[in-house]
Amino acid sequence: MTPADRDRGVALARAARAGNTLALHDLLDHLGPYVARICTPIALADGPDATQEALLAVFTSLRSLRDPEALYGWVRAIAVREAVRTARRAARARPAELADLPGPGSGDPHLAADIDDVLARLTPGQRAVLVLRDVEGLDEESAACLLGVPAGTAKSRLHRARTSFRKAWFS
């Protein structure tokens, strides 16, 4: 995201908090791709649902954002929380067996589909810490804070997630 995009988001958040409904609509449109980029790798097939839930939470809680400059960190926290919640709810609704999931050697020419398949084998918590560290580029302490766990827990989840990912990828 460019600095101009960030500045636009912050300006839209300020205007939306002041009661400008057009700015609120533009803000949600502006945040949609950012939220989807966070939610999809965590919630996988339920990524669109998680994205919608996160944007709804942003909409209903925007007045609680104290500092519009912190918009993207605040939205990231909401997106991770909603993606993990959606993924857990989906896992309870449709349990999957590892043998039912295609592996990277299945002849599928699309690398992204193979990565999604391997990510599906991880728990929502593991996917969340993996996305925060390896996609969003956060450090362990920031990821732990967003996930609401101690830094050591986030570090061990990240280690297990990377180990599980490698094992599933090369199996």
Q: Over the stretch 35-47, which tens digit does the pLDDT of each residue have?
A: 999 999 999 889 9
Round the average pLDDT of the chain to a whole number and report it.
86
What per-residue confidence (pLDDT) applies to 99?
38
Tell me which residue of 97, 5, 96, 104 sits closest to 46, measured CA to CA: 96
Give the whole-angstrom CA distance, residue 12 versus residue 31.
10
> Residues 142-154: what's their mean pLDDT?
89
Q: Which residue has the higher pLDDT, 58 or 144?
A: 58
Stretch among 31-35, 99-103, 156-160 having the lowest mean pLDDT:
99-103
Note the pLDDT of residue 93: 62
User: What mean pLDDT do residues 4-21 have?
Assistant: 96
pLDDT of residue 9: 96
Q: Is the pLDDT of residue 140 over 90?
A: no
Residue 12 pLDDT = 97
Report H helices in the chain. Answer: 3-17, 21-43, 47-61, 71-93, 111-120, 124-130, 140-147, 151-170
Grade residue 168 by pLDDT with cuts at 50, 70 and 90: confident
97 vs 82, higher pLDDT: 82
Q: How confident is the model at residue 112 (pLDDT cuts 50, 70, 90)?
A: low
